[in-house]
Amino acid sequence: MLLTNRSKNLYQEVILDHNKNPRNYREIEHPSHFAKGNNPLCGDKLDVYLIIDDKNVVTDVSFVGDGCAISKASASIMTTLVKDKTIDEVNKLFEGFHDMATGKIEPDEDPKLRRLRAFSGVKDLPARVKCATLAWHTLDAALKNQEIISTE
Amino acid sequence: MLLTNRSKNLYQEVILDHNKNPRNYREIEHPSHFAKGNNPLCGDKLDVYLIIDDKNVVTDVSFVGDGCAISKASASIMTTLVKDKTIDEVNKLFEGFHDMATGKIEPDEDPKLRRLRAFSGVKDLPARVKCATLAWHTLDAALKNQEIISTE
Amino acid sequence: MDTVSKDTISQKRETPGRILEIRRDFPILNRQVQDKPLVYLDNGASTQMPKQVMDTINAYHEFHHSNVHRGVHQLSQEATELYEGAREKLRAFIGAASTKEVVYTSGTTESINLVANSYGLANLKKGDKILISNMEHHANIVPWYMIAKKTGAEIVVIPILDDGSLDMDALSELMDNNVRILCVNHVSNALGTVNPVKEIAKMCRDYGVITVIDGAQAVGHFPIDVVDLGVDFYAFSGHKMHGPTGVGVLYGREELLAKMEPFMGGGDMILSVSFEKIIWNELPYKFEAGTPPIAQAIGLGAAVDYLNSLDREFLESYENDLLEYATEKLKSVSGLKLVGTAPGKISLNSFVIEGVHPHDIGTILDGEGVAVRTGQHCAEPVMDRFGIPATTRASMAFYNTFEEIDALTDALLKVTELFDVTD
Amino acid sequence: MDTVSKDTISQKRETPGRILEIRRDFPILNRQVQDKPLVYLDNGASTQMPKQVMDTINAYHEFHHSNVHRGVHQLSQEATELYEGAREKLRAFIGAASTKEVVYTSGTTESINLVANSYGLANLKKGDKILISNMEHHANIVPWYMIAKKTGAEIVVIPILDDGSLDMDALSELMDNNVRILCVNHVSNALGTVNPVKEIAKMCRDYGVITVIDGAQAVGHFPIDVVDLGVDFYAFSGHKMHGPTGVGVLYGREELLAKMEPFMGGGDMILSVSFEKIIWNELPYKFEAGTPPIAQAIGLGAAVDYLNSLDREFLESYENDLLEYATEKLKSVSGLKLVGTAPGKISLNSFVIEGVHPHDIGTILDGEGVAVRTGQHCAEPVMDRFGIPATTRASMAFYNTFEEIDALTDALLKVTELFDVTD
Ligand SMILES: Cc1ncc(COP(=O)(O)O)c(C=O)c1O
Ligand SMILES: Cc1ncc(COP(=O)(O)O)c(C=O)c1O
């Protein structure tokens, strides 16, 4: 199969795998934080659930929703990364991820972004940046107690 | 004075004279027919008064109004021409004038149009055809008992 | 290209020379995208413009530009003649009785908003019904939603069948004496369906129902005759028929337009203005407030000339061949399901692929130089009707080739391979 | 051309080389009319377009055209970037705080209709007052007249002084707690008057009155800063600033726009649509229904680039010289009376000649190649105010020359000779 480099670069094994078998794909019955994310451009919809303990640590996190491979894999990988992190650490991760997806920094510049490197390809695809960041924006909204957000 | 041919052709002595000294420029107190004409494009306004006897003959005709030289001279000349004509004759004259002003016939083709020949130059000036025909359209409206008309 | 038998539709087909010649009129078709030749299959969103239209617009700007209607000077008269000349071309193009019935707008969307506001607002009240098909573009839904809110009228949805046809039986049943307005597109941009507008308009006349036909997707594909169709309002856009953006048309029957109040106010749509009293201008100017899209209207006239210069019957049958070929070819893609398989369709295929989101399909196709649209196509209710979040849409024009359909199919096979889709 | 002393304003003056160079950018200025060189003095109606803007529009059509916002493919992304890039240029051009405040429309007229309908209709009621200056263009009168009819609000006219200035004392007295909206143009197209918008806006803020500024005649002549001016809404058109027809802008303060309902409905201005519930899109998209004027917006962005590439301070002072020269020159024409002699004016002279109707003047000037506008300039109340049926208007742009003013004057002398006008 002769795919262009751009597509190969974007649709790496790790993304295809998380898309097919998303981790933490479930509702949490009594979340301490929750938000609905919405990307009207492509119809992506994502709910993010969180349980945060009194030490500001994410003790559980999950998502459900519909979306493209990029947004689904991004959500799945996000849940695996933020688990057991403090809110501060989560915010830093979001920031780093956002900078990488929009091309502001290279993934190699920050070791914490290692496992998110697969998404660095979206920076060349303005219309797809929102797919990659939707889960993170929704997480951010949940942490800030905004219940509905949309990325446009 | 070196005017272009077009302007010389349009602004002939006869037009300039009727513009300066319009004939039958007065109101008629008890007209049998009356109409207000209006060319919104240039703000020309013209009232035409008629007295028509029971033999369908125009026994008196007059106008008042504001307008450019073309429309004023046209109204003035019109009043001098339709006086003592039957409605049928007036309609024929209107038709001939209209055809000449819009370039459908040459003034020489119809001897009755001799005294209207000065207006044949407007056929090259689409924006001015309405000025030349406003008085005639208003006359026509008066004869048809339409009280207000506008040419556009 | 391989030499192939022309009869086997599932095999490769050769594009007629006449089409290849027409392609030369469209400079953008030479573009490269990701180092591959552009395969432009997004004509439903906007069509490309031939050199002839560009040249007309340039000549207008270089030699004739001026404001229209209000000037006695040469340029203004030329601009007015070109602008009004284009209106006459458009009149003939859609078979309207008079240029009074041809109102320039900024596009289909404004055309329909004009009808909704000028006709709808004045003629609808609580208890009245507006019938809107389930396959409408948002342009023929949202304005009515807004007017329904204001008037208390009720929107009633005309359902569609599983193949994407309008449910004509259901429509007959929905017709009653409370229906005032019926809104339907001539051609669905999401499904490709060509609706039986003439039949619908006949039914509406019997009930005294006003028809608002969205012709955005029709005008570029086949000839229109609004009188033969028997419709009341017909809306379309320049940029979907190889003309410019920023211009469109509302056709309306003179009798209706004459009674309607203006939509917008400003210069040119009035006969006289004081602060106490304003008198509206005559048709069609009553509905054209302010400086109109002069260059764009003239460009649209040139697009009409361009289409008229082609053999439209041939183009229509060629587009049918393209559709047939594409429909057959897409069958070879695992997991692909067409959305919209009505018997009468323009050359447009909407589809989903099991397990692959349209957005991913679009990105991968783009990497192969193939431009398709993915998403809801401004027709969310269609997506809801078919229970899908979005589709991928390959919408063709007469300048597309069989080879481009092959390129589309090849690119889709790469998608299914990457995402491991099996039937 | 004769060599003359540059200090004697009533004598001939030489046009600076920089201006002659700029003229080369405008192909239409080479036109011949009636076998004479075109002297284009109808810039108030519409300005001419430089080659640079044409080239941008052509390049867009030849390489990038596609619909915006909704596509993942390359062309759509390029078109979106160009279209949104132009918005950012316009934002900077008028000094707006955010692109959310820059709404594309089809022109000044639609911009004002948008405010009248979306803001006016929702916020006006019986007893409220709308202040409108007596020098407004119909575009800033008719929409308010329509809204006043619907809401019962009252239109109150701000008088103008004999020289064509706004009567600021009268304005102060008209300000009261029932005034909701004030409509005034930045520059009058009939008189040339530049209004003290900053001062007016300050007064309005003190009374909580919303300002709707018609900037159609301002943007092409001098730089604008909406934040410095302190206005609420500011409307202008592309074709009056050397950009294309079919596009304009409404600037609105974000706080106000955010609370307003959309004007038109359709694609792109919504986040989600069902027949039961529709959610509007964010700013500025909420106000941009349907396919926008894409090529035109991009062309307008190019017009901004073009203006920015020039030394605007120099152009402004050159235009002042032109005005001064023309004002002086026109004094030599028997029976000529200027209408509008306010201390602050753009390079525009409206005038009447005793005993000669403007329409005749226009035709004779056209015969000499001189394009002026004659009539009411869509500002009938101004004509009524000065008790005249119409004027002749010579409206200049930075590409006009002193020699062209001479040509205007010479042609006017022919008029007075023909019509035998004496002082
Ligand atoms: C002062 C003024 N306001 C508004 C307008 C209307 O602009 P447009 O016709 O481009 O909508 C014009 C131009 O005709 C104008 O000069
Ligand atoms: C069926 C249909 N109706 C209406 C529209 C709206 O047209 P425009 O965006 O040009 O106003 C479109 C195109 O987007 C369409 O496909």
Atom of ligand 1 nearest to the CA of D185: 1
Of all ligands present, the nearest one to the C-alpha of D237 is 1
The residues, any chain, with a CB within 8 Å of residue D21's CB and separated by 6 or more, are none
State residue C223's pLDDT score: 98
Using a 6 Å cutoff on CB, does residue D401 contact ligand 1?
no
Q: Is the pLDDT of residue C5 over 70?
A: no
Q: Is the pLDDT of residue C351 over 50?
A: yes
State residue A152's pLDDT score: 47
Q: Which residue among D33, D378, D388, D413 is the active-site one?
A: D378
**Cβ of D271 and A127 within 8 Å?**
no
**Cβ of C289 and D109 within 8 Å?**
yes
- The H helix count followed by the E strand count for chain A is 5, 4
Higher pLDDT pick, B107 / D91: D91
Which residue ranges form the domains of chain B, and what is each CATH number? 5-150 (3.90.1010.10)
* C291 and C225 fall within a common domain: yes
Report the separation in Å between the CA atom of D137 and the middle of ligand 1, taken as the mean of its atom positions. Answer: 7
Distance from CA of C4 to the nearest CA of D (A): 31
The parent domain of residue C401 ranges over 17-48+311-418
Give a yes or no: residue D58 inside a domain: no
* C115 and C146 fall within a common domain: yes
State residue C3's pLDDT score: 42
Distance from CA of C272 to the nearest CA of B (A): 7
91-120 in chain C: CB under 8 A from chain D: 106-110, 112-113, 116
Q: What would the DSSP string read from start to end of D272-294?
A: EE-SS-EEE--TTGGG--SS--H
| CB-CB contact of C291 with D46 (8 Å) | yes
**Cβ of C46 and D38 within 8 Å?**
no
What is the pLDDT confidence band of residue A2, given thresholds at 50, 70 and 90? Answer: low
* C172 and C95 fall within a common domain: yes
| One-letter amino acid of C65 | H
Question: In this predicted structure, which of B65-74, B123-132, C179-188, D130-139 has the lowest mean pLDDT?
Answer: B123-132
D139 closest CB neighbour out of C108, C275, C290: C290
How many Cβ atoms sit within 10 Å of the Cβ of residue C316? Answer: 15
CATH number at residue D99: 3.40.640.10
What is the pLDDT confidence band of residue B110, given thresholds at 50, 70 and 90? Answer: confident
* D176 and D78 fall within a common domain: yes
Give a yes or no: residue C343 inside a domain: yes
How many Cβ atoms sit within 10 Å of the Cβ of residue C409? Answer: 20
State residue B111's pLDDT score: 84
Higher pLDDT pick, B5 / C197: C197
**Last residue within a domain, chosen from D260, D291, D308:** D308
Give a yes or no: residue C4 inside a domain: no
Using a 6 Å cutoff on CB, does residue D109 contact ligand 1?
yes
| CB-CB contact of B104 with B95 (8 Å) | no
Of all ligands present, the nearest one to the C-alpha of C235 is 2
**Last residue within a domain, chosen from D308, D329, D347:** D308
**Once rounded to an integer, what is the mean pLDDT over residues D92-112?**
98
Is the dihedral angle over the CA atoms B143, B144, B148, B150 positive or is it negative? Answer: negative
What is the pLDDT confidence band of residue A114, given thresholds at 50, 70 and 90? Answer: confident
**Cβ of D359 and B1 within 8 Å?**
no
State residue B43's pLDDT score: 72
C271–chain B Cβ distance below 8 A for any pair? yes
D272 closest CB neighbour out of A40, A126, A128: A40
Give a yes or no: residue C59 inside a domain: no
Extract the tokens encoding C250: 């509302």
State residue B115's pLDDT score: 86
| CB-CB contact of A147 with A35 (8 Å) | yes
**Cβ of C80 and B128 within 8 Å?**
no
14-73 in chain C: CB under 8 A from chain D: 27-28, 31, 33-34, 38, 40, 42, 45-46, 48-49, 54, 57-58, 61-67, 70-73
* C360 and C236 fall within a common domain: no
Give a yes or no: residue C8 inside a domain: no
CATH number at residue C337: 3.90.1150.10
* C277 and C346 fall within a common domain: no
Report residues whose beta carbon is within 6 angstroms of any ligand 2 atom.
C 107-109, 137, 139, 185, 189, 214, 216-217, 237, 378; D 267, 290-291
Taking the C-alpha atoms of residue A38 and residue A138, their distance in angstroms, rounded to an integer, is 8
The residues, any chain, with a CB within 8 Å of residue D258's CB and separated by 6 or more, are D283
**Cβ of C359 and A42 within 8 Å?**
yes
* D32 and D151 fall within a common domain: no
Q: Is the pLDDT of residue D3 over 70?
A: no
- With contacts defined as CB-CB under 8 Å, which chain B residues touch D34? 4, 6
Share of residues in chain C with pLDDT > 90 (%): 91
Query: What is chain D's mean pLDDT, rounded?
Result: 95
**Last residue within a domain, chosen from D247, D275, D308:** D308
Using a 6 Å cutoff on CB, does residue C267 contact ligand 1?
yes
For chain D, how many structural domains are there in total? Answer: 2
* C180 and C87 fall within a common domain: yes
**Once rounded to an integer, what is the mean pLDDT over residues B66-90?**
95
Q: Is the pLDDT of residue D75 over 60?
A: yes
State residue C2's pLDDT score: 42
Q: Is the pLDDT of residue B1 over 60?
A: no
What is the pLDDT confidence band of residue C6, given thresholds at 50, 70 and 90? Answer: very low
What 3-state DSSP class applies to D154?
Answer: strand
In chain C, whose CA is at the least distance from the CA of B131? Answer: C72
Report the separation in Å between the CA atom of D43 and the middle of ligand 1, taken as the mean of its atom positions. Answer: 12
pLDDT, one tens digit per residue, over C305-342 is 999 999 999 999 999 999 999 999 999 999 999 999 99
Measured in whole angstroms, how far is the alpha carbon of residue C300 from the centre of its chain?
A: 14
State residue C4's pLDDT score: 41
* C156 and C281 fall within a common domain: yes
Distance from CA of D406 to the nearest CA of B (A): 16
**Once rounded to an integer, what is the mean pLDDT over residues D3-28?**
79
- With contacts defined as CB-CB under 8 Å, which chain C residues touch A3? 364, 367, 414, 418
State residue C9's pLDDT score: 47
* C292 and C317 fall within a common domain: no
C360–chain A Cβ distance below 8 A for any pair? yes
**Cβ of D360 and B70 within 8 Å?**
yes
Taking the C-alpha atoms of residue C276 and residue C271, their distance in angstroms, rounded to an integer, is 14
Distance from CA of C193 to the nearest CA of A (A): 23
Q: Is the pLDDT of residue C7 over 80?
A: no
Q: Is the pLDDT of residue C130 over 80?
A: yes
| CB-CB contact of C294 with C68 (8 Å) | yes
- With contacts defined as CB-CB under 8 Å, which chain A residues touch D271? 38, 40, 150, 152
Taking the C-alpha atoms of residue D131 and residue D139, their distance in angstroms, rounded to an integer, is 14
pTM (two decimals) = 0.95
Is the dihedral angle over the CA atoms D90, D94, D95, D96 positive or is it negative? Answer: negative
Count CA atoms within 13 Å of residue C241 on its CB side.
35
Taking the C-alpha atoms of residue D101 and residue D253, their distance in angstroms, rounded to an integer, is 6
Report the separation in Å between the CA atom of D385 and the middle of ligand 1, taken as the mean of its atom positions. Answer: 20
Whether residue C204 lies in the annotated active site: no
Extract the tokens encoding C153: 């009228």
pLDDT, one tens digit per residue, over C153-173 is 999 999 999 999 999 999 999
Report the separation in Å between the CA atom of C327 and the middle of ligand 2, taken as the mean of its atom positions. Answer: 24
Q: Is the pLDDT of residue B136 over 70?
A: yes
B4–chain D Cβ distance below 8 A for any pair? yes
pLDDT, one tens digit per residue, over C54-105 is 999 999 999 999 999 878 899 999 999 999 999 999 999 999 999 999 999 9
**Cβ of B44 and D359 within 8 Å?**
yes
Q: Which residue among C33, C378, C388, C413 is the active-site one?
A: C378
Question: In this predicted structure, which of A92-106, B111-125, D388-402 has the lowest mean pLDDT?
Answer: B111-125
pLDDT, one tens digit per residue, over D126-143 is 999 999 999 999 999 999
The residues, any chain, with a CB within 8 Å of residue D362's CB and separated by 6 or more, are C71, C72, C73, D372, D373, D374, D392
Strands D39-40 vs D370-371: parallel, antiparallel or unpaired? parallel
- With contacts defined as CB-CB under 8 Å, which chain B residues touch C281? 40, 152
Extract the tokens encoding C81: 């003649």
Phi-psi region of C378 (alpha: psi -120 to 50; beta: other; left: phi over 0): left
Instruction: Compute the count of residue pairs across chains B and D with CB atoms less than 8 Å apart.
Output: 64
- With contacts defined as CB-CB under 8 Å, which chain D residues touch C135? none
- With contacts defined as CB-CB under 8 Å, which chain B residues touch D355? 20
**Once rounded to an integer, what is the mean pLDDT over residues D320-343?**
98
Pocket test for ligand 1, best of D141, D160, D237, D373 (most atoms within 8 A of CB): D237
**Cβ of A125 and D70 within 8 Å?**
no
Give a yes or no: residue D275 inside a domain: yes
Atom of ligand 1 nearest to the CA of D378: 14
C246–chain D Cβ distance below 8 A for any pair? yes
Query: What is chain C's mean pLDDT, rounded?
Result: 95
Give a yes or no: residue D136 inside a domain: yes
Give a yes or no: residue D54 inside a domain: no
* D226 and D366 fall within a common domain: no
What is the pLDDT confidence band of residue D161, given thresholds at 50, 70 and 90? Answer: very high
**Cβ of C75 and D155 within 8 Å?**
no
* C38 and C103 fall within a common domain: no
- With contacts defined as CB-CB under 8 Å, which chain C residues touch A67? 357, 359
